Amino acid sequence: MKLTQKTYLLLGAIIAVSGINLYLLIFTTQQNQDVLHSISYASDLKVVVERIGGTANSIAAGNEEDRQTLETQISDFDSTYTILGTGGNISGLNIIAVPSVLRPAYDNVGNAWIPYKEDAEMIKKETIFDSRVKDGITYILGKDSELISLTNGISNDLLPLDRNYNKHKMIALEMTNIAKDLGEKTLLYSIGEGGNVTSSLKKDRIIFDADLKKLEGLPLTDPEYLDYGITQETLAPIPRQNSDSLRQIDPLWESMKVKLIFVESNTLLSKDFGAALSKLNAQRSELLNATSDFVSQWNGMIDSGLHDKVVVVQLLIIADIVVFVAVMMSIRKSLLPLDSLIRAIGRVKEGFYGERITYSSKDEIGELAETFNSMSSTIQKKEEETKKIEVAKDEFLAMVTHELKTPLVPIQGYSDILLGEHLGPLNSTQKERLQIISSSASTLLQLISDLLDAQKLELGQLRIKKERNNLKETIDKTIIGMQPQAISDNVSLTHDVKNDVYAFYDDDRIKQVLTNLIKNSLKATLPNIGKVEVSIEEKPTELIVSVKDNGRGIPDEAIDKIFKKFYQVDTTSTREKGGSGLGLSICKGIVDAHGGRIWMQSEISKGTTFSFALPKTEVYRSPV
């Protein structure tokens, strides 16, 4: 049987069983709908009680608009409670009256509701905050910035004094911190988020007052000081010329201290409002317990009446489970080969080819398995052929680069000897031709060196010796080495690195990266107006080196390809500048081997900036 046919058959069985269950569910629901709605609204009484308590606390937090919400919630409880007692209709749903056997529990809810409602009504009408405490908080918050400013002024006045006044300076610093705490804690107290903040305010006030008296040389006679371990200290008198802020702070502190003492001793909530809120919160548990008991008794009565129906439902559920398990086993048996197929595809994704799937059925899964086996065999053959080609290519490239480099060394060496006229004088034409030979040999040697580096990167054999080096020194040496070419090209080559910066990297390889990037910039700029600048940006975990020029720029379509091997922006036979197209690819390989990253930004006719980032700490990463 086809998999689709099996699926349709199993889905049909599931739909049939679901239809039977749905019919029975609707039939049972219709029979008990009125009772369930009644119990649901009885349970909602607990929700309304909790909402009333939450709204009361919200009003206490200053949300005046919640007074109307509280009135609505009280009305909701009254109307729901009344309908439950007499029967009626709520939002189009029929509600039955409470059975006579449940009347005592119903009346207990009403008796607990009466005092709870009275307190909620009082909260709805009463003023929230004590105006005198509120005015005191406003005054403290308004003056706190001035207090902080004056304590800072005391510290500044004491700054010129010698070490005999070190203790004075420590006290002044403590006063500044306490002044900031006073403002923050008073603000928290005012918005009701500070918890038991009054004791903390009192401690700050007493310590600040004692610190001020110490600086003024006054005795600490208040018994409160002893509660916080504050004792008398003998300090050197502060010179008058250094006590301007101290004299100014005294009257300000006296006025703030009075307000602080009043705030500490009184609550922000008005006494009547606070008493009503406390009673409401205390009575909530009694009302909730009475409501829960009422709902529990009603549920118990319904449970006993529905016992037989529950047994029927349980049997139906067992039948559903049996059908569901049978369907799932059948589906699992049909789809089990997909797991093998997924695992095999995952192995192919990881590079393991030649996997085969054993499946004998002739359904859609069988056709898919057969197609996969054929594909896997084909890929394995192609992969083996590709590996052979890659090995041959690597061996050929290594041989060619080595064989090319061998004769070039003596060519360049002897051309340099001849140019030095060690074997006899030369005329100008001979020198010119020998310089062409030497330059061409150097260019070819550089090309071969690039090919070797590119091959090492490809094989993961490029040696990177990371040490802690000074990046400024590396840039200095690189620029000094490139200055002759810059002077020859009549291009300005500079850097703005003034400070020593350190990172873990291979000095020779990073010089190679910088040299390649600077060479590219020199090629891209015009004589006389060309500028190339090297800079460093220091980040918390890495150093970013940038080589910026004002050359011709690179087109947008070339930006994504610029770091690929052998890629050149100008591929025409008449291009002005030569090159192998390997320099930037090697740069990327070297930077990646350091655990860094390299990128570029360019704008046509305005210039190009190549940047690479090196980690400050040593990062281990195999070259790719």
pLDDT of residue 342: 75
pLDDT in tens, 56-80: 888 777 677 888 898 898 888 888 8
For residues 38 and 96, the answer to whether their CB atoms sit within 8 Å is yes
Lowest mean pLDDT among 138-147, 275-284, 489-498: 275-284
Give the H or E element holding residue 469: strand 467-470
Domains 131-268 and 463-615 share a fold: no
Residue type, 515: T
Q: What's the pLDDT score for residue 7?
A: 65
Q: Picking from 247-261, 561-575, 578-592, which range would have the lowest pLDDT averaged per residue?
A: 561-575
Q: Which residues of 129-156 are buried (b: 16+ CB within 10 A; e: fewer)?
A: bbeebeebbebbeebbeebbebbbbbbe
Q: What is the pLDDT at residue 624?
A: 39
Structure tokens at 139: 């005054």
pLDDT at 576 over 60: no
How far is 417 from 413, CA to CA, in rounded Å? 6
What's the rounded Cα separation, in Å, for the pair 613 and 592? 10
Give residues with Cβ within 8 angstroms of 235, minimum separation 6. 167, 168, 214, 215, 217
Number of Cβ within a 10 Å radius of residue 80: 17
Amino acid letter for position 557:
E
Mean pLDDT, residues 295-323 taken together: 73
572: pLDDT strictly greater than 50: no
Q: How far is CA 438 from CA 126, 409, 444, 579, in A?
A: 102, 10, 10, 17
Task: Please report the pLDDT score of residue 479 as a whole number.
Answer: 93
Angle between helices 3-60 and 364-419 (to 10 degrees): 80
Question: What architecture does CATH give domain 463-615?
Answer: 2-Layer Sandwich (3.30)
Q: ∠ CA 302-96-85 to the nearest 5 degrees?
A: 105
* pLDDT (average), residues 329-349: 69
Q: What are phi and psi of 60, to 5 degrees?
A: -60, -30
pLDDT at 596: 92
Angle CA 334–340–344, to nearest 5: 145
197 within 8 A of 215, measured Cβ to Cβ: no
Q: Say which DSSP state 552 is in.
A: S
Q: What are phi and psi of 599, to 5 degrees?
A: -155, 175
What is the Cα–Cα distance from 250 to 157, expressed in whole angstroms? Answer: 15
Q: What is the mean pLDDT of the chain?
A: 80
Which contiguous run of DSSP H or E holds residue 173?
Answer: helix 166-190
Among the ranges 288-302, 322-336, 414-428, 457-471, which has the highest mean pLDDT value? 288-302
From the list 68, 63, 98, 102, the residue with the least C-alpha distance to 83 is 98
Dihedral pair phi/psi, residue 237, rounded to 5°: -60, 145
Q: 135-178 pLDDT, tens per residue?
A: 888 888 898 999 999 999 999 999 999 999 999 999 999 999 99
- Helices and strands (H, E) in the chain, number of each type: 16, 9
Architecture of the domain defined by 3-128+272-305: Up-down Bundle (1.20)
Give the DSSP H/E element, type plus range, for residue 57.
helix 3-60
469: left (phi over 0), alpha (psi -120 to 50) or beta: beta
Between 288 and 442, the more confident residue is 288
Phi, psi of 244 (to 5 degrees): -65, -50
Angle formed by the axes of helices 507-524 and 583-593, to 10°?
A: 150
Tell which phi-psi region holds residue 159, choosing left (phi > 0), alpha (psi between -120 and 50) or beta.
alpha
Contact 300, 320 (CB under 8 A): no
Residue 605 region by backbone torsions, left for phi larger than 0, else alpha for psi between -120 and 50, else beta: left
Alpha carbon distance 175, 147 (integer Å):
9
pLDDT tier at 458 (50, 70, 90 boundaries)? low
Phi and psi at residue 88, in whole multiples of 5°? 165, -150
Would the pLDDT of 577 be above 60?
no
Q: Phi first, then psi: what are they for 500, rounded to 5°?
A: -70, 135
User: What does the pLDDT average to over 277-289?
Assistant: 85
Q: Which CATH architecture has domain 131-268?
A: Up-down Bundle (1.20)
Whole-number pLDDT of residue 522: 92
CB 325 within 8 A of CB 333: no
How many other β-carbons are positioned within 10 Å of the β-carbon of residue 538?
Answer: 12
pLDDT of residue 620: 47
Q: Determine what percent of the chain is predicted with pLDDT higher than 70.
A: 76
**Is residue 374 pLDDT above 70, yes or no?**
yes
Across 41-127, the runs of DSSP E, i.e. the strands, are 88-90, 93-95
- In sequence order, what are the residues at sequence separation of 6 or more whose Cβ sits closer than 8 angstroms to the Cβ of residue 64? 128
Q: Look at residue 312 in the predicted model and tell me its pLDDT.
A: 64
Band (89; pLDDT cuts 50, 70, 90): confident
**pLDDT attached to residue 401:** 63
pLDDT on residue 573: 41
Residue 531's φ and ψ, nearest 5 degrees, are -135, 135
Q: Would you say residue 452 has pLDDT above 60?
A: yes
Are 85 and 153 in contact by the 8 Å Cβ rule? The answer is no
Query: What's the pLDDT tens digit per position in 504-529?
Result: 999 988 998 999 999 989 998 999 99
pLDDT exceeds 70 at position 218: yes
Is the four-CA dihedral 267, 271, 275, 277 of positive or negative sign?
negative
Of 587, 568, 584, 577, which is closest to residue 526 (Cα–Cα)?
A: 577
Higher pLDDT, 345 or 551: 551
pLDDT on residue 169: 93
Residue with the larger pLDDT of the pair 338 and 263: 263
Q: Are 73 and 51 in contact (CB under 8 A)?
A: yes
Residues in the chain: 624
The domain locations on the chain are 3-128+272-305, 131-268, 335-461, 463-615
User: Looking at residue 236, what DSSP letter applies?
Assistant: P
pLDDT at 222: 86
Query: Higher model confidence: residue 177 or residue 373?
Result: 177
Model confidence at 497, in pLDDT bands (50, 70, 90)?
confident
| 57 contacts 73 by C-beta, under 8 angstroms | no
Which of 504, 501, 477 lies closest to 594 in space, CA to CA?
504
CA separation for the pair 105, 98 (Å, rounded): 10
Taking residues 12-17, report their average pLDDT: 73
Q: Which of 146-160, 350-364, 474-488, 585-599 has the lowest mean pLDDT?
A: 350-364
Mean pLDDT of 532-544: 93
Asked if 189 and 199 count as a contact pair (C-beta separation under 8 A), the reply is: no
**282-291, 296-305, 613-622: which has the minimum mean pLDDT?**
613-622
Picking from 70-84, 194-208, 473-487, which range would have the lowest pLDDT averaged per residue? 194-208
Sheet holding 607-615, edge to edge: 492-495, 531-538, 542-549, 607-615, 597-603
Query: Residue 100 carries which DSSP code?
Result: G
